[in-house]
A and B are shown apart, each in its own frame.
Chain A
């Protein structure tokens, strides 16, 4: 039993690291632009399908395809921020409801465009970064999943250092805390918004590129991931990078362990129920400072 639990915890950490990565991107956008990006999961889908397209075109190197995927999603993010989000920003603040509805519109457009181009079939990229498994104690762990875990943790750590230590990172945090004061001290809020949205999208794109070798891609896959990223942001707390990291891992482990006690399909309840409980009992999330109440 103990080793079984341990096994599910490790599996959960692997999945959870992906939720963390998605939640981080969502949280950076949420924390700075105050925008709930309903199309966040679709950024992951786009990243995954760039990989599919490159594989279909005959590219074999997973590293190049990953880099191209992240770059493509970053450009898409920049375009969305510039063309769709800028017009609804007044005095450094994005209109919350309109922003949410616009990204909801995107989430109708993007998956259907992908469906139109690639068809409804499940797609898989041939070839993996690495095959086989490593032993952690007595437990075999798929190397590819370990790569997702390590990749996610590295990206999350890198983001944390970037936001803490660099001038640009501090500017991003300043805009998140108080756009007027940031503008007054010479930071271009407009540019920071563009940059932050691009960064958040690129993180989702990276998640898409990372997840592709272990899962199938299909056009509507994004919506589920959007819901996970929203849960991570709510549970971890608005604007908290550490919160998103921990909440993502927690969610993954909780979901994975729940299989031991409830029928497997019901593990999809873990994310929405934990999110609801957080909203009701502790609206600021585990590590957030700003209360979500009126």
Chain B
């Protein structure tokens, strides 16, 4: 899966697609005032941030994280626990969660970044599992496996599903936009890609490889932590399950199906997949995950570049026919 960051379509087409999606996002509460659908849409947006942040690591810096739930859950717990025990306004939860995720990126990154890809993935998995065990057992702090729900939330204060949804939408658009710009339109993103493509050469060119790898981890962790904090406020509950491997699996699946190395592919795939799996859940509780797993296997074997890669290939074929 060494998908290069290829363009999904003409920039104009892509801009139109983004504009339509944003407009649809804004219009959704007017189309359906159904609270359940709005909640699902908000959660889908949170997963979109998470998938985009994972893609920044694997698709641009070439670093595999199998412990993304660790950033997500830690951000969520930090947002809830610190605001609760310090008696802070819930608004502080979002930056606190994001910073906690960013910090965890440094803590994980520094000792493990010399490891080869698969070993790194397993190290991140071990980190997130350790966090999950602590969150489950430190009952006096986290209330254990029942989850923590004592913190004041932003949304219960405003009291309405609609305003909660809009805040999530705003943060998701800004976050995914920032990840996209960092990855594809900054020197930093270029440096990440240089390291991914040829670490030895990057080092020879004078790039401080370790520094940039840690930086990639902490930027990715920052946005994953923000997603976790947002989740905690949106749902009003954070439990050890949010640190669990299932979250990581879903994120890996969404991003891989969407197309690694494109940021927008994983984000859109996360939206679609989360919605679809919630709809499938109405038919049967297990169908959603079975479908996601099967789709993931199908894509990895047949279209390893994901939907985005497939669209790009489709476009080249069309252009050739047009000639």
Contact = CB atoms under 8 A, between A and B. Distances in A.
Interface of A: 36, 84, 87-88, 95-98, 100-102, 104-109, 112-113, 115-116, 223, 227, 230-231, 234, 263, 265-266, 268-269, 272-273, 275-276, 279-280, 283, 292-294
B39 interface: no
Contacts of B130: 269, 272-273, 276
B1 interface: yes
A269 B304 CA distance: 35
Interface string B217-261: 000000000000000000000000000010001001100100000
Contacts of A263: 137
A127 to B, nearest CB: 29
A280 B253 contact: no
B51 to A, nearest CB: 14
B111 interface: yes
Contacts of A115: 285-286
B19 interface: no
Contacts of A272: 125-127, 129-130, 133
Given A101-B256, A292-B119, A112 B286 contact: yes
B294 A234 contact: no
Contacts of B256: 101
Contacts, number: 127
A112 B277 CA distance: 13
- 3 smallest CB-CB distances across A and B, nearest first, come from A108-B293, A109-B293, A105-B296
A96 B300 CA distance: 12
Contacts of B289: 108-109, 112
B117 A102 contact: no
B296 A227 contact: no
Interface in B116-142: 116-119, 121-123, 125-127, 129-130, 133-134, 136-137
B284 interface: yes
B290 interface: yes
Contact of B297 (A102, A112, A265): A102
Size class of B's contact patch? 35 or more
Given A106-B297, A272-B129, A234 B122 contact: yes
B290 A109 contact: yes
B284 A116 contact: yes
Given A36-B122, A108-B296, A283-B119, A266 B301 contact: no
Contact of B294 (A105, A107, A230): A105
B114 interface: yes
B186 to A, nearest CB: 25
Nearest to A112: B286
B199 interface: yes
B287 to A, nearest CB: 8
Interface in B261-316: 284-286, 289-290, 292-294, 296-297, 300-301, 304
Contacts of A36: 118, 121-122
Contact of B133 (A98, A108, A265, A293): A265
Given A272-B130, A272-B133, A84 B249 contact: no
B64 interface: yes
6 contacts: A88-B300, A101-B256, A102-B300, A272-B125, A275-B123, A292-B119
B6 interface: no
B112 A279 contact: yes
A266 B139 CA distance: 11
A234 B116 CA distance: 13
Given A98-B300, A269-B133, A273-B130, A227 B125 contact: yes
B115 interface: yes
Contacts of B249: 104, 107-108
Given A112-B290, A113-B290, A280 B122 contact: no
B296 A294 contact: no
A265 B134 CA distance: 9
B294 A279 contact: no
A294 B116 contact: yes
Contacts of A113: 286, 290
B110 to A, nearest CB: 10
Contacts of A97: 1, 64, 117-118
Given A107-B249, A227-B125, A293 B114 contact: yes
Given A96-B117, A279-B112, A84 B296 contact: no
A84 B293 CA distance: 13
B137 A279 contact: no
Interface in B1-46: 1
A38 to B, nearest CB: 8
Given A105-B296, A234-B122, 19 more contacts: A88-B300, A97-B117, A105-B294, A107-B293, A109-B289, A109-B290, A109-B293, A112-B293, A115-B286, A230-B125, A263-B137, A266-B134, A268-B136, A272-B130, A273-B130, A276-B123, A279-B126, A283-B119, A294-B116
B301 A108 contact: no
B71 to A, nearest CB: 16
